[in-house]
Amino acid sequence: MEEQFLAFDWQGYIGHFRKLDTNSSSLSYSFPPPTVISGMLAGLCGMERDQYYTIFSPDNIQFGIQIRQRTRKIMQTVNYMFVKSKNELNLSAPEKHTQIPIELLVADIFPRTYLNFRIFLKITEPSLFDVLHKFLSENVKRYLPYLGSAPFQSWLDMLDIQSVSVDSDAKSVRSVVPAKILKNANMFFQNEQKSYALFFEHMRRFFHNEREPGEMIDLVWEQNHGEISSQFSTLVYRFEFDDESTNVIFF
């Protein structure tokens, strides 16, 4: 099938993308997982909850993620209602609240600037491309986008892509990278002029119908400069915009 591409910046001041293996302390991923991006886009287009999983399957759409603003995490304790049954939603329980630590994702110089994730979409389903292009380009929202949780409002800016090509000679990318496609990560540490910091995130790639768990994926990202140098066992796409170009890997 013919591939079509979209790109947009997803921005906001605070995010929380709850890790699936976290315990009572709600830890956060360092960038939005594919399932969160799918849910946000489905809500943007007004798709019903739990009805869009097949539409956003890896056969129809793949994602590239670029962390545009260096991030950090802060811990806050929040009050939740202590509810064991629906009859206690009126705060009639003897213990009305419980305090839970939550990890919040912010920009490294928060609040002077905000989170910025550039999301790239590679779409093979024509009808999905049409509906996403319509809502993104016209800045129409059926449901507001949030950075993981409802309190954390955000905004989207669609980008004008000048061209997309496969860069067969690419030795570096400025996006999140699946760990399994790195062939020679030693190249990453050959530059003695820069201090690099690699991190891994283990997250869900997608859901099947009825919210059945889909594949897990290990993703690598670089904290200090946003660039990963290596040889890659998959295609690297080069995006040209008005003011810059960047290499991206999809998953």
pLDDT value at 8 more than 80:
yes
Angle made by CA atoms 180, 182, 186, in degrees to the nearest 5: 140
Confidence of residue 189 (pLDDT cuts 50, 70, 90): low
Domain that holds residue 208: 4-248
What tokens were used for 148?
Answer: 């993981």
Question: In this predicted structure, which of 11-20, 27-36, 98-107 has the lowest mean pLDDT?
Answer: 98-107
Residues pairing with 75 in the sheet: 103
Domain count, the chain: 1
User: Cβ(11)–Cβ(113) under 8 Å?
Assistant: no
Question: Residue 213 — very low, low, confident or very high, per pLDDT cuts 50/70/90?
Answer: very high
Angle between helices 126-137 and 34-44 (to 10 degrees): 70
Cα separation, 120 vs 112, whole angstroms? 26
Q: Of 128-132, 169-173, 246-250, where does mean pLDDT reach its minimum?
A: 169-173
Measured in whole angstroms, the distance separating CA 2 from the mean position of its chain's CA atoms is 24
Collapsing DSSP to helix, strand or coil, 216 comes out as strand
Here the tokens at position 95 are 């213990």
Q: What is the pLDDT of residues 18-71, one digit of tens each?
A: 998 877 678 999 999 999 999 999 999 999 888 999 999 999 999 999 999 999
**Mean pLDDT taken over the chain:** 91
**The domain that contains 200 carries what CATH number?**
3.30.70.2660
> Pairing mode, if any, of strands 163-166 and 237-240?
antiparallel
For 154, residues 6+ apart whose C-beta sits below 8 A from its C-beta are: 10, 11, 12, 15, 115, 145, 146, 147
